[in-house]
Amino acid sequence: MDKSHGRTEVLLNEKKLYKPSAKVLKNVRVRQYKAMTAKAVKNPKKYWEQAAEELEWYKKWHTVLDDSHKPFYKWFTGAECNIVHNALDRHMGTPIEKKTAIIWENDAGQRRKLTYRELNKEVCKMANGLKNLKVRKGDRVAIYMQNTPEIAIAMLACAKIGAVHSVVYAGYSSHALRERIDDQAAKVLITSDVGFRSGKVIDMKSLCDEAVQGSPSIQHVIVHRRSDTPCKMKMNRDTYWDALVDSQPAKCETVPVDAEHPLFILYTSGTTAKPKGIVHVHGGYMVGINRTLQWVFDIRENDVYWCTADPGWITGHSYIVYAPLINGMTTLMFEGVPIYPKPDKIWQVVQKYKVNILYTAPTLIRTLIKFGDKWPNKHNLSSLRLLGSVGEPINPEAWRWYHRVIGKKKCPVMDTWWQTETGMFMITPLPSMPLKAGSATLPFPGIQATVLDEKGKEVPPGKGGYLVIKNPWPSMLRTVFRNEKRYLHTYWEKFPGYYETGDLARIDKDGYFWIQGRSDDVLSIAGHRIGNAEIESALVSHKAVSEAGVIGKPHPIKGQTAKAFVILKQGYKPSDKLINELKIHLRKTVGPVAVTDEIEFVDKLPKTRSGKIMRRVLKAQELGEDAGDTSALAD
Ligand code: WT7
């Protein structure tokens, strides 16, 4: 038994609690896990090659891993494929064709179901529509939509013709959307007229109009119609989705692309104000997400699978859209809010669709705990077989509640640690393993992770340090879009030869990993990643603000919240009104994710002699902790 933070951890016994399917049993029982991992370490190329052989390729690779220009790794070189061939084409003419691919529901109770055949048809038509707008292989298409089947159709249609999609989460502001469109020089933007959230209507098209006004790259805006009120359409630029697609043929050849051809760009926050365009490719990405979904979630033929994330994040890309479709699963897209209108909305949906696998985030679990057990207890949750968690460390209390109250102690909790950059689960249990509440457990077979000290030396068990990955993996990011320097600097410079995750962790004496949060200046608010610098830069873009320093503070529900220390320009006086105005400004410039709970006006900020704000010192002062080394402090 591991003692961690003075708590005794639960160790679940594999046989008593969970009966894995034959496939998982064969591959990933504890004993096999060790053998499998040893094999993968000894011959990683063979291990990943076998994983690749489980998918269909137009042309086989000549080299599994090309590391001649590391860390610009290439996987399955020489191969031709298309992820859409695996997600849709190959299911046609098989029994999967008639199966439900997507169940969609929103919080107004509207619902839709699409079979694989119907989904394929919609994707073909949209792909033809995009071709009509002269979207070519390699062109970037930005997508700004809510969690609807159309977002998946748009993504798949792009991938089908070799275009590169870039989904911008619909909670981002028009300013943030514009920044992302400009960075990638997107040719087309796909959106909807309006969106719905918690009973409110969001005017998506107006946000898009603001974002693309004067854009040097955008040629077309495609608008999916969701309301009866026509919106303002700009001649020769804007077209309704139905007008573009209805007359298109229902067949479209999938374009074979090189295994290393970019599939999507997804922006994520870093330590500077500018977000990074993380690039993923067709070949390696599909191999990584396919194997991890199969093994970690122990998927079965008639599973109904619900990942509560939004397709606008990596979780949605990998584990709502691509991997479930590759596996012919039924994936549930719920556009509503899991606690709206009542705290048991989530359990109503689980019961109604007999969800077998539920994959959600610690922040939601903690919110649900707050409402009390009576809400889940009102519903029949017996369809659940397996539970997942992602986005931030899950505290042992939340883990236990999830396991006991939702899983009735029968469902293993898979705490999956990974990142936008990794594309797939990296440190995660397999359902047949002994679990410890609050630990993401062990690296997935084929992944070697460790913890280093400041000098790059591996630390002994129990000691915290920097979480790094020792070897390349197929679904790793390939670069930061048009910014190789930033790719090298962010991930490969601090510890040469290792991929730096930006997280802190410790490994216990059983080899289990305990993730402790970020080591860099990146916040995780309710599982959403945002850079301190992004909020600071948004604050100083307000006319009243001269300087701003932002820190993260622990929060019982959201994991973390942001607190901003703001120096006002001369002529401005601190007031509650100004605080409110700054919050609205943050919402407008970055989006609701950036709204900062606390804003405090100060006269001075701790700085280095070179003028850099020392957030570490601010944080220590705020939390009443020791500031550590302050020799760099100016005064
Ligand atoms: C960061 C990545 C991966 C999809 C969602 C977030 C944190 C993620 C866990 C977990 C502890 C986690 C890390 C990571 N994180 N999953 N199971 N336990 N921390 O993707 O926005 O790229 O953020 O989220 O800090 O670095 P992302």
Query: Could you read off the pLDDT of 170-213 as tens digits, one per residue?
Result: 989 999 999 999 999 999 999 999 998 888 899 999 999 999 99
Helices (H), 98-170: 116-132, 149-160
| Ligand 1 pocket test, candidate residues 265, 314, 418, most atoms within 8 A of CB | 418
- The alpha carbon of 466 and the centre of ligand 1 are apart by a number of angstroms equal to 15
Whole-number pLDDT of residue 631: 66
Which residue type is seen at 287?
V
| Ligand 1 pocket test, candidate residues 267, 523, 524, most atoms within 8 A of CB | 524
Q: Whose CA is nearest to atom 18 of ligand 1?
A: 393
Whole-number pLDDT of residue 626: 82
Q: Whose CA is nearest to atom 14 of ligand 1?
A: 419
Whole-number pLDDT of residue 26: 56
Whole-number pLDDT of residue 198: 80
Q: Whose CA is nearest to atom 2 of ligand 1?
A: 419
Ligand 1 pocket, Cβ-based, cut-off 6 angstroms:
268, 313-315, 390-393, 415-420, 440, 501-503, 515, 518, 524, 529
Give the span between the Cα atoms of 635 and 542, in whole angstroms: 28
Within 10 angstroms of residue 137's Cβ, the number of other Cβ atoms is: 11
The answer, yes or no, to whether residue 325 has pLDDT greater than 80, is yes
Q: Whose CA is nearest to atom 12 of ligand 1?
A: 392
For 78, half-sphere exposure in the C-beta direction (CA atoms, 13 angstrom radius) is 7
Q: Whose CA is nearest to atom 1 of ligand 1?
A: 419
Angle at which helix 576-589 crosses helix 174-184, to 10 degrees, equals 30
Residue matched to tokens 């606008």: 312
Q: Whose CA is nearest to atom 3 of ligand 1?
A: 419
Stated as kind and residue range, the H or E segment containing 579 is helix 576-589
Whole-number pLDDT of residue 29: 56
- The alpha carbon of 511 and the centre of ligand 1 are apart by a number of angstroms equal to 20
Query: Could you read off the pLDDT of 494-515 as tens digits, one per residue?
Result: 999 999 999 999 999 989 999 9
Per-residue confidence at 42, pLDDT binned at 50, 70, 90? very high
Angle at which helix 44-53 crosses helix 30-42, to 10 degrees, equals 110
Helices (H), 185-256: 204-212, 241-245
Q: Whose CA is nearest to atom 7 of ligand 1?
A: 392
Contact 469, 447 (CB under 8 A): yes
- The alpha carbon of 116 and the centre of ligand 1 are apart by a number of angstroms equal to 31
| Ligand 1 pocket test, candidate residues 419, 441, 530, most atoms within 8 A of CB | 419
Q: What b/e sequence results for 159-171 when a residue is b if at least 16 CB atoms lie within 10 Å of its CB, and e otherwise?
A: bbbbbbbbbbbbb
* Domains of the chain and CATH, by start: 116-258 (3.40.50.980), 522-623 (3.30.300.30)
- The alpha carbon of 416 and the centre of ligand 1 are apart by a number of angstroms equal to 8
Ligand 1 atom with the shortest distance to the CA of 389: 17
- The alpha carbon of 418 and the centre of ligand 1 are apart by a number of angstroms equal to 5
Whole-number pLDDT of residue 625: 86
Three-state secondary structure call for residue 477: coil
- The alpha carbon of 98 and the centre of ligand 1 are apart by a number of angstroms equal to 35
| Ligand 1 pocket test, candidate residues 278, 529, 593, most atoms within 8 A of CB | 529
Q: Report residue 527 as tokens.
A: 């599982």
Within 10 angstroms of residue 576's Cβ, the number of other Cβ atoms is: 8
Output DSSP code: residue 441. Answer: B
Three-state secondary structure call for residue 299: coil
Q: How far is CA 310 from CA 123, 241, 306, 360, in A?
A: 20, 21, 11, 11
Give the span between the Cα atoms of 180 and 264, in whole angstroms: 13
Query: Could you read off the pLDDT of 193-203 as tens digits, one per residue?
Result: 999 888 889 99
| Ligand 1 pocket test, candidate residues 417, 424, 480, 512, most atoms within 8 A of CB | 417
Q: What is the DSSP string of 38-103?
A: HHHHH-HHHHHHHHHHTS--SB--SEEEE-TTTTS-EEEET-EE-HHHHHTGGGTTSGGGGSEEEE
Give the span between the Cα atoms of 41 and 471, in whole angstroms: 9
Per-residue confidence at 293, pLDDT binned at 50, 70, 90? very high
Percent with pLDDT over 90 in the chain: 77
Cis preceding-peptide flag for 434 (omega within 30 of 0)? no
Ligand 1 atom with the shortest distance to the CA of 529: 21
Whole-number pLDDT of residue 24: 57
User: Kind of pairing, strands 100-105 and 330-334?
Assistant: parallel
Whole-number pLDDT of residue 635: 60
Ligand 1 atom with the shortest distance to the CA of 417: 17
Ligand 1 atom with the shortest distance to the CA of 421: 22
Ligand 1 atom with the shortest distance to the CA of 420: 22
Three-state secondary structure call for residue 217: coil
**Whole-prediction pTM value?**
0.90
Radius of gyration of the chain (CA): 24
- The alpha carbon of 332 and the centre of ligand 1 are apart by a number of angstroms equal to 22
Whole-number pLDDT of residue 553: 93
Mean pLDDT of the chain: 92
Three-state secondary structure call for residue 365: helix
* Lowest mean per-residue pLDDT among 156-165, 375-384, 475-484, 531-540: 531-540
The answer, yes or no, to whether residue 634 has pLDDT greater than 80, is no
- The alpha carbon of 596 and the centre of ligand 1 are apart by a number of angstroms equal to 20
The answer, yes or no, to whether residue 10 has pLDDT greater than 50, is no
Q: Whose CA is nearest to atom 10 of ligand 1?
A: 417
The answer, yes or no, to whether residue 403 has pLDDT greater than 60, is yes
- The alpha carbon of 624 and the centre of ligand 1 are apart by a number of angstroms equal to 27
Residue closest to 495 by CA, chosen among 530, 456, 454, 523:
456
Per-residue confidence at 438, pLDDT binned at 50, 70, 90? very high
The answer, yes or no, to whether residue 7 has pLDDT greater than 60, is no
Sign, Cα dihedral of 554, 557, 559, 563: negative
Q: Report residue 160 as tokens.
A: 């089908």
Whole-number pLDDT of residue 3: 35
Paired strand residues for 141: 165, 188
Whole-number pLDDT of residue 572: 94
Query: Could you read off the pLDDT of 549-602 as tens digits, one per residue?
Result: 999 999 999 999 999 999 998 899 999 999 999 999 999 988 888 888 899 999
Query: Could you read off the pLDDT of 227-284 as tens digits, one per residue?
Result: 999 999 999 999 999 999 999 999 999 999 999 999 999 999 887 778 999 999 999 9
Query: Could you read off the pLDDT of 337-353 as tens digits, one per residue?
Result: 999 999 999 999 999 99
Give the span between the Cα atoms of 290 and 23, in whole angstroms: 14
- The alpha carbon of 443 and the centre of ligand 1 are apart by a number of angstroms equal to 14
Q: Whose CA is nearest to atom 17 of ligand 1?
A: 417
- The alpha carbon of 391 and the centre of ligand 1 are apart by a number of angstroms equal to 4
Whole-number pLDDT of residue 197: 83
Per-residue confidence at 14, pLDDT binned at 50, 70, 90? very low
User: Kind of pairing, strands 111-115 and 140-144?
Assistant: unpaired
